[in-house]
Amino acid sequence: MLIADDDALIRAGVRAVLETAPDVEVVGEAEDGRAAVETVLGRRVDVALLDISMPGMDGLTAIEHLRGRGSVTRFVVLTAFGAETNVLRALGGGVAGFVLKNCAPEELIRAVRSAHAGEAYLSPAVTRLVLGMVRPETGRRRQEARRRLAALTGRESEVVALVAEGLSNAEIGVRLHMSETTIKTYVSRVLAKLDCANRVQAALLVRDAEGPGVSP
């Protein structure tokens, strides 16, 4: 995988964390988006972890450029609080993961592993952050959200409600007394039924259906 961040100390710290995982191999580093693009296009990179805010070409622009070139690399974006306005743009760009720089080491590893496995990983903190940014809808969108959610089974509704709380698959499994693998299957099925690209879109749908006055 590739690590792209303009801060050498952060790159070193992230690399040290990732290299504790026996199934993660860091094959390169980049100090800006342009260097990240060149690295990804020049060799096989399964997962690229990019900081959103970098001088020159930022991480999101680099991802958009690589998507346009047909890259099959999966992208995880790393950011700090204060860059909330970039969250929705990142999600719209099809990133596979989104984590905050103050996340626990195990969460960073989990995000990379999920991306490699073809799954979307969104930090529970990011899910809560996005829900806090977007006001719940009323009127027609609220009715549409309720209509879409009505297509779910009882268990699927329980799962998506916990997704909307920002819980991971493992945490949902504990809450519902089910295996993480089973929850993963449920989440995939729910996203397909709701026509949502990722967990945050599903969480926003739940928020719209609940309407104003309901905390995420």
Q: Buried b vs exposed e over 160-172: b needs ≥16 C-beta within 10 Å?
A: bbbbbbbbbbeeb
**What's the whole-model pTM score?**
0.69
- Give the tens place of pLDDT for each residue, 14-33: 999 999 999 999 999 999 99
- d(Cα 18, Cα 124) in Å, to the nearest integer? 20
Each residue's pLDDT tens digit, 52-66: 888 889 898 999 899
Q: Report pLDDT for 91.
A: 67
Give residue-wise pLDDT tens across range 51-105: 988 888 989 899 989 988 888 899 998 887 555 566 667 766 668 788 888 888 9
Domains of the chain plus CATH, in order, are: 2-122 (3.40.50.2300), 137-210 (1.10.10.10)
CB 171 within 8 A of CB 122: no
Q: Specify the pLDDT at position 215.
A: 39
Q: How many CA atoms lie within 13 A of 212 on its CB side?
A: 4
* 74 vs 198: CA distance, rounded Å: 14
